[in-house]
Structure 1
């Protein structure tokens, strides 16, 4: 018989509200992400992974100038002792610290393939080697002198620093990128010498605001150079609030070739832009014919960036060509600024420039005080030992006798010579060979020097002025190391104003200029046909639909659409669908209300004057340029209230002095043009009076040439002012039936050319 299995006692079950459990766990996750992964510390500018990598390299004695060690060794030690989050994440962080195109002041000196600006991956960590740079050494300087607090590592087996001593303005000099839960940080790199100048000013004037520091810190200084084209006002706003962005453009120059030819050579690209992807994007745009001014592009880069761009022809304006590239590619990049950092290692906060530097300076002072206290303790201990040595030297024979004869010499020595326990222990631990060195002069000299040093340390500890003087001295040394005349410290990013260009010329630069025919169906479906097509009889339309209107244009043209709601909408011909199929509803390209319909569509040429009128017979003259809106919602020009609506539009040509208006009641009136005002927006004035119905059509003409119209068969008619004498009157007259032969449609049959 087998043993009978006894089920285990059920575990105690606790009922927990799901909402509370989720809130508690999600908050813990969010805080962990913010504090231990995504946001840098304002004091040393490092995230935990970077801090642990540098401390791990310090323990491996990988100082500048020492032999390199395998990255695998560094990654393994850091993962095993401090950062148990996967080797790849540690190696990725290590690689970024070594890339001179990612970090303005690299903290790691890499040997081997650490990736490149094209976006190629680095070699595996078993193939690469690394050691620290001078910048990393500055960040760690003082860590062995109790400069910072330590805490237990993840398994409690060893200790790791809470923050590094940070003798380099790393937060702003190298910047940081990170996404936490509910917050993010984006800090571009800056010039270390400029930051040191600003910090020294802040030491002199602790209440200085961020705006005052912009005398020293002009703006970001990217590892890859580039040109910032923002205004000084927007840069000042960004540094004051801690939030903003910098428009950064590639640096380029024009190189002359043979027989009047030229090319543009790009020598610097914006920060964090992958060169290979940038060139692929430009090549794609070339194939799609979206860069009509560009002929070809090729990459001639070696160690330095050299991207050669050839124009379509030598007559192309190089600045206009580059403007089209800046608008469509990453040759212009918007680099964000979000100075969201951990203050005192605990509180996430968005700081301004002055607050960031103040946090760094306060940290330097704290480290100075800790190191001074540590050194003070060392000196006091040594002075105590030296005092014991002096007693031993003066009574050497008696000391030796006690040590030789006594079983427990320590308490006897302490009693005989009034020694402290430390002094007695030092004498007992002294080697025999040191006896000959125990010369009174040497002991007294060392004692004197140490007491002088101790006096200086006590003076620093007691005086805040002395402390800031020491901090200033430290900052000056950093400025000297990375000054503007040093290869690493020289500013790479420049500042300039964006060149101003004619907007129409820029728009044209984005599209290949080709003739097209715009076709709009009766139901509002639009399409474009290649070339200027006269015969449209072969076109197909959807069921219950037919040709509404058509006209010739170019791919670079802009269309204006007047709707019954009195709004004008702008459309780019280049964005309209091609001639295949039935096209697409015109409403897809504009935000036109559902109850509004199209009155007319035409090519925008600029500078013309229009007479527009509503169904209830009111209207005014408006300049064409006033009708162009910049958004999909259009621009309200003619104010109408339902059921009234915009009904007609005609061009006022040069020399026109008269207006003809015809209503639904088939009555026409003619009156002088100067009776109608020119406005930018409104209802206008009464053009014709109606008992029933409303306005049908309008036309303007010159009294010398007479009034012309076209019937449904396309035949032209005209009448002189003498022949039109009985229709002439004033604005707001009712009018009378039109001349014989006037179309039954009550339309003048004119098109807007």
Structure 2
């Protein structure tokens, strides 16, 4: 019987510094769990309250200690990185500097937290300059995150070396988590939060204060979707957006912003002015050039990057006849001009527990944090007021007994103890009197002290009322959010919405002709079934070479954008793209390699598909019907069964319906003429009887013509004969017919 580590007794605990035996599985699991928790809570996942990871929080706190406020002078980035690494973040300087650089990039962060001076990288993906060359300071947004940090609004913990303290979380007067988003990969979990517009977030937060149980649909009316720093157009359906925000998981489809720029002589070009979030422009251009060279972007003629400070990608179409919308739709499908941004709202809650939150939960967590900050800040202010009032009470006692106070200070060996005993002062009051300056003994100072005492007493009463009134506290929080909205709202340059909300694109079907350059071709199929496409329209008198023992059977004029229809004796239609046919330089390829045509079946006819055309199909037993050409297109190599056949009959005819009369001739040389209207239109089947035959007779040929122009057929020598009086052969469908005029071809045929 096998034994596992759980079956054996654990070794007794040993003294520190001693060696103890332990199972490898237990040691690995213990250490891996510690590593995983460290990665999740101290590296990769942001806090739902301030939206920051530890490295970002330490960066901002260190910059505040260096007094790098928005109005102050810049300091070298190396100085900031050094302070962060030496005091708070015991990791490599490159990791710290990379995090700092990202906070300064206005194309990566919607509301930058670091104001950088120097080369901090660009949208092409170029790296920032070394930290010794760049300088930085905090932005107004970062200052809002730090607002009130010295007023006991958040908890502090010891730094890694125990020599200082760092904040556990920022007071965060700015909804940074959703405003700037976050990306991170931990152990067994990840987070991906796109940035949003802070004006919309503030609107939703104020609505949640009034209606805590607001429906997700109402919140989506206010937060319509992500707002990326690089702009673009969000093309996700409202239903999908609602579901993503409800579950905290989903994705958003973003497309580049483009416009048509007209040129002379009726030509035009596409200019892309905004690209999707987190797409490197240089890599995008490089990838599109590779696809263009590989002939996979059939509608695109050329691409140029004319960007300077702003993005300007010029896309030239291969032909001015291409529709711009169709061209861009094809590029969206094949390139990063369309990108999907994932949403995985996986964050640490206030108890440091990672979990996926919905949009309402994340917003409420921010509001709860702001409420806690308000209460703690109010209590801190009350403590300061109580201390100051205590000091002021001591000052007032000193003014009323000024001579005695001076005597005690001058004559007593222990003046502090004597003051406390004589006037019943506290230690704080006695210490304040002893530290009071002589100039403060002026009579006017007493008036100022009494005035300050009254003001502080009134403020204390007001703050006590605030602590006792929850409704009023939420009103104050709403006012604070309103201040953020005014400072960073849509009316400001930084707050204007950059990503437009578009409509979800429908399932646009890009026609084959839009993806292929239109060129004339001649489709050649030999007697032995070798098919190829020659450039241009080759005349019937122009010689074409074939393999020895082979010859011509079909010669059809078409274009590369056409769908070539192949009708076989089994009643199936096969479809081959005109651009997919082998080149005419050689002898081509066997057509059976392109379609799944059975070995015992043969080709009846080959012709290009024409939209809206109607076809007459008929079998050797004299049955047939009319079928729309659009209904015979096959999607697979196996073709599409249209005309029903069996062991006694094969498909014999497929011709376009280009008239109002039908002429049928059998192998018995009987001719019958009737109206096209007598034939039904079907999608599939054996059809109806066109002409009856006696035993052994079969259908020879069928043609459709205009009755007023008469029926014509070929004669020897290339001449044609036309018969206008068809009364002798007129009859009802399914009749036997009569012998044709003298000179009718043998075997009977019309072409």
Write the distance in 2 (CA, Å) between the matches of 1:66 and 1:540: 90
Question: CA shift at 1:501, angstroms?
Answer: 11
Task: Give 1:41's aligned residue.
Answer: 47
Task: Give 2:370's aligned residue.
Answer: 364
Task: Give 1:650's aligned residue.
Answer: 654
Write the distance in 2 (CA, Å) between the matches of 1:359 and 1:99: 27
Relative to structure 1, is the Cα distance of residues 260 and 709 closer, same or farther in structure 2, using a 3 angstrom cutoff? closer
The alignment's C-alpha RMSD in Å is: 5.5
Q: Secondary structure at the match of 1:144?
A: coil
Larger Rg: 2
Pick which of 44-53 and 108-117 moved more.
44-53
Task: Give 2:171's aligned residue.
Answer: 165
Relative to structure 1, is the Cα distance of residues 44 and 645 closer, same or farther in structure 2, using a 3 angstrom cutoff? farther
Alignment of 1:311-710 (within 5 A): 317-344=323-350, 346-402=352-408, 410-428=416-434, 430-433=435-438, 436=441, 439-497=445-503, 503=509, 507-516=512-521, 537-538=545-546, 553-558=558-563, 572-574=577-579, 603-609=608-614, 622-628=627-633, 650-651=654-655, 653-655=657-659, 678-680=681-683
Relative to structure 1, is the Cα distance of residues 296 and 244 closer, same or farther in structure 2, using a 3 angstrom cutoff? closer
Task: Give 1:197's aligned residue.
Answer: 203
Map Cα deviations across residues 137-175 of structure 1 (whole Å, 9 max, x no partner). Answer: 011111111222223333444322222111112222222
Question: CA shift at 1:205, angstroms?
Answer: 2.0
The match for 2:65 among 59, 65, 72 is 59
Task: Give 1:13's aligned residue.
Answer: 21
Write the distance in 2 (CA, Å) between the matches of 1:183 and 1:642: 62
Write the distance in 1 (CA, Å) between the matches of 2:463 and 2:598: 81
Task: Give 2:261's aligned residue.
Answer: 254
Task: Give 1:218's aligned residue.
Answer: 224
* Preserved CA contact (<8 Å) 1:297 1:309: yes
* Preserved CA contact (<8 Å) 1:300 1:307: yes
Task: Give 1:186's aligned residue.
Answer: 192
Pick which of 282-291 and 146-155 moved more.
282-291
Question: CA shift at 1:364, angstroms?
Answer: 1.4
Map Cα deviations across residues 404-440 of structure 1 (whole Å, 9 max, x no partner). Answer: 6666555554443333343344445x25546536943
Total equivalences in the alignment: 720
Map Cα deviations across residues 217-269 of structure 1 (whole Å, 9 max, x no partner). Answer: 33333323333344445444444444231332323252555x66655443333
Write the distance in 2 (CA, Å) between the matches of 1:644 and 1:158: 98
Question: CA shift at 1:451, angstroms?
Answer: 1.6
Write the distance in 1 (CA, Å) between the matches of 2:623 and 2:238: 49
TM-score normalised over the length of structure 1: 0.76
* Preserved CA contact (<8 Å) 1:513 1:556: yes
- In the alignment, structure 1 segments of 5+ residues that lack a partner are 1-9, 664-668, 690-694, 734-738
* Preserved CA contact (<8 Å) 1:516 1:553: yes
Relative to structure 1, is the Cα distance of residues 740 and 283 closer, same or farther in structure 2, using a 3 angstrom cutoff? closer
Q: Secondary structure at the match of 1:440?
A: helix
Question: CA shift at 1:131, angstroms?
Answer: 0.5
Relative to structure 1, is the Cα distance of residues 252 and 343 closer, same or farther in structure 2, using a 3 angstrom cutoff? farther
Q: Secondary structure at the match of 2:166?
A: strand
Question: CA shift at 1:450, angstroms?
Answer: 1.5
Write the distance in 1 (CA, Å) between the matches of 2:520 and 2:181: 50
Write the distance in 1 (CA, Å) between the matches of 2:183 and 2:554: 54
Task: Give 2:5's aligned residue.
Answer: none
Write the distance in 1 (CA, Å) between the matches of 2:648 and 2:203: 68
Q: Secondary structure at the match of 1:145?
A: coil
Relative to structure 1, is the Cα distance of residues 206 and 399 closer, same or farther in structure 2, using a 3 angstrom cutoff? same
Task: Give 1:85's aligned residue.
Answer: 91
Task: Give 1:125's aligned residue.
Answer: 131
Answering whether residue 221 of structure 2 is matched by residue 228 of structure 1, we say: no
Write the distance in 1 (CA, Å) between the matches of 2:221 and 2:711: 70
Q: Secondary structure at the match of 1:143?
A: coil
Write the distance in 1 (CA, Å) between the matches of 2:597 and 2:579: 24
Pick which of 149-158 and 568-577 moved more.
568-577
Write the distance in 1 (CA, Å) between the matches of 2:33 and 2:645: 54
Write the distance in 2 (CA, Å) between the matches of 1:14 and 1:696: 92
Write the distance in 1 (CA, Å) between the matches of 2:663 and 2:30: 76
- In the alignment, structure 2 segments of 5+ residues that lack a partner are 1-17, 693-697, 737-743
TM-score normalised over the length of structure 2: 0.76
Task: Give 1:147's aligned residue.
Answer: 153
Relative to structure 1, is the Cα distance of residues 400 and 319 closer, same or farther in structure 2, using a 3 angstrom cutoff? same
Answering whether residue 82 of structure 2 is matched by residue 70 of structure 1, we say: no
